[in-house]
Structure 1
Amino acid sequence: MIAETVCSAVSAAGLGIAAITAYRKRFLAATRIFAYALVPVGLVLTGVVGWVADIAFKPSVWLGFGMLAVAWLLFLTTRAVERRSGGTRKERRAAARAAGTDQVAPGAPAPSLPGRTGAQPQAAARPAPRSKAAGAAAPGEDFSDVEAILKKHGI
């Protein structure tokens, strides 16, 4: 009942503002304001406002929203822990199976197939992260031109 009254008051205020705007010869803006003013009344007449009011004032609905929030937080927490642990569950399961049997672990060289001779190429390994303490460029990298540009600009 209160929600319907508030929506009616908002619509009446909007209609008044639309009338003042039309009086000032700004008909396009007045028409737009009039359209916005009709929305709250339309929502009341369709029953949307009553439905939202029933949802907003029921404790069981808020309990449901709370449970959804807890579930969402649990999903986020497990994803964060999984990322910090260094792999997905599928990768850990495959590594555990490989340790117990003769299967190949992820990142290990591929086994040679029967009928083929010679060594198989190894799987591409991740490059080792550079330590910031090293500070020196790897052999073959020349940054003198970059240093010159930085010095030119006073950096």
Structure 2
Amino acid sequence: MIAETVCSAVSAAGLGIAAVTAWRKRFLTAARIAAYALVPVGLVMTGVVGWLADTAFSPTAWAGFGVLGVAWLLFATTRALERRRGGTRKERKAARAAQREPVAPAASAPALGTAAPAATRPKATPRAGDSTDDFSDIEAILKKHGI
């Protein structure tokens, strides 16, 4: 009973504020305030406020919320551990089997058969100044910035 009275008072106050806002020629804002002010009365009329008041003071309802919280915590923990391990046991077993078996065993052979064997291919020789060139660029940038 007291919850319904409080909701009605809040709605009346909100509608009063909306009327003052409309009197100041701010009709869009007044309409929005009136919409918010009508929500508590609508909740009272549908019975939601009574249900919430009964639920808020019920130890059984709070125990139910606690059970739901524990269930959610267990669910979230198991999902996090599953992701950390890389899936379920079946998924890991299938991934290991897929790693062992090549997808296309003949894919490593040359497609046309005319390619030169690896032994006869010319080997790429690294340039003598590669490593120093990289560092000289970095040193130039650092000197430019005074570091």
* TM-score tier (shorter): 0.5 to 0.7
Identity %: 68
Aligned match of 1:76? 76
Structure with bigger helix share is 2
> If the length of structure 2 is used for normalisation, what is the TM-score?
0.63
Q: Gaps spanning 5+ residues in structure 2: where? A: 109-125
1:109 alignment counterpart? 101
Question: What amino acid maps onto 1:54 in structure 2?
Answer: D
> Which structure would you say has the larger RCO, counting Cα contacts within 8 Å and 6 or more residues apart?
2
What is the aligned partner in structure 1 of residue 117 from structure 2? Answer: none
Q: Which residue of 2 aligns with 1:48?
A: 48
1:92 Cα deviation (Å)? 4.5
Equivalenced residues, count? 124
Displaced runs of 4+ in structure 1, greater than 4 A? Answer: 92-95, 119-122, 146-155
| RMSD of aligned alpha carbons | 3.5
Matches within 5 A, 1:1-155: 1-92=1-92, 105-110=97-102, 119-120=105-106, 144=134, 147=138, 151=142
- Structure 1 unaligned regions, length at least 5: 96-103, 113-118, 123-138
Which letter maps to 2:56? A
| TM-score using structure 1 length | 0.60
* Structure of greater Rg: 2
Q: Partners in 1 of 2:87 and 2:107 — Cα distance?
A: 24
Give the aligned residue type for 2:44: V
Q: Distance in 1 between matches of 2:98 and 2:35?
A: 62
CA positional deviation for 1:27? 2.7
